[in-house]
């Protein structure tokens, strides 16, 4: 897949951005689905375009506009991002090219050495996206992610370095001890049967099922943060 970054034009595209934000759900974001008034207030406050923020539509050659990525903290040494895909385009492998396109833009237009991203610890599809795009997990923050109407969730931080972007390699973090297990992924051609056979066992062993919108797999996470993922191979 080949995704292009197309600069969001404000105020000309205010209505299009409001429509996108209010017609899709974002369960792992702090602002899940804003109201129209909330979305317009965010736009008017400069959250999508000012000296430190710049927003781009993500455009696929075949699918057209599939979401947006907002680049944040552009005046700092370590910019970050907010990625949002439309409901209908999730689970189609678009996250990896989106991150790669964003890294290309950051490292070719800014003289920074690091590009960071943060997500909820239970957002396993996004964590796999980071890993497949060559990013490295650097931190796990306990109860650091606000969740409306619920206790705060844990958060995890990833980054990609300029040297890794240039070489296509991955610079690991220094080991901190322990067994070092991050996750195990197992492919199965019978996902429903696997869940019925092993799901109860994982829960009994203290690995609860992670609630997520992911049709191709199921994940159980240990309290340590390690997780086991059963997934169906793509056809």
How is 187-228 classified by DSSP, letter by letter? E-S-HHHHHHHHHHHHHHTT-PBPP---TTEEEEE-TTS-EE
Q: What is the pLDDT of residues 31-59, one digit of tens each?
A: 778 899 999 999 999 999 999 999 999 99
Determine contact, residues 86/185, Cβ cutoff 8 Å: no
Q: What is the pLDDT of residues 149-178, one digit of tens each?
A: 889 999 999 999 999 999 998 887 765 555
Nearest of 200, 206, 209 to residue 229 by alpha carbon: 209
- pTM, full prediction: 0.75
Residue scoring higher pLDDT (42 or 194): 42
Determine contact, residues 84/29, Cβ cutoff 8 Å: yes
Nearest of 197, 187, 201 to residue 230 by alpha carbon: 187
Helix (H, G, I), strand (E, B) or coil at 162: helix
148: burial class by Cβ within 10 Å (0-12, 13-18, 19+)?
Answer: exposed
């Amino acid at each position: 897949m080949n995704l292009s970054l197309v600069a969001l034009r404000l105020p000309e595209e205010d209505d299009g951005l409001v429509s996108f934000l209010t017609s899709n759900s974002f369960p792992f974001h702090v602002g899940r689905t804003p109201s129209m008034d909330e979305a317009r207030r965010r736009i008017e406050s400069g959250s999508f375009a000012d000296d430190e923020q710049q927003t781009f539509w993500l455009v696929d050659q075949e699918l057209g506009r599939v979401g947006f990525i907002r680049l944040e903290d552009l005046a700092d040494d370590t910019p970050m991002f907010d990625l949002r895909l439309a409901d209908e385009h999730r689970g189609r492998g678009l996250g990896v090219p989106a991150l790669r396109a964003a890294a290309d833009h950051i490292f070719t237009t800014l003289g920074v050495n690091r590009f960071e991203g943060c997500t909820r610890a239970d957002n396993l599809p996004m964590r796999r996206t980071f890993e497949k795009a060559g990013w490295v997990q650097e931190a796990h923050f306990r109860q650091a992610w606000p969740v409306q109407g619920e206790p705060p969730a844990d958060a995890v931080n990833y980054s990609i370095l300029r040297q890794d972007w240039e070489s296509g390699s991955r610079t690991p973090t220094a080991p901190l001890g322990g067994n070092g297990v991050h996750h195990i992924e197992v492919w199965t051609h019978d996902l429903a049967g696997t869940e019925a056979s092993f799901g109860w066992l994982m829960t009994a062993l203290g690995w609860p099922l992670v609630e997520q919108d992911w049709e191709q797999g199921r994940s159980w996470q240990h309290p340590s943060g390690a997780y086991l993922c059963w997934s169906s191979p793509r056809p």
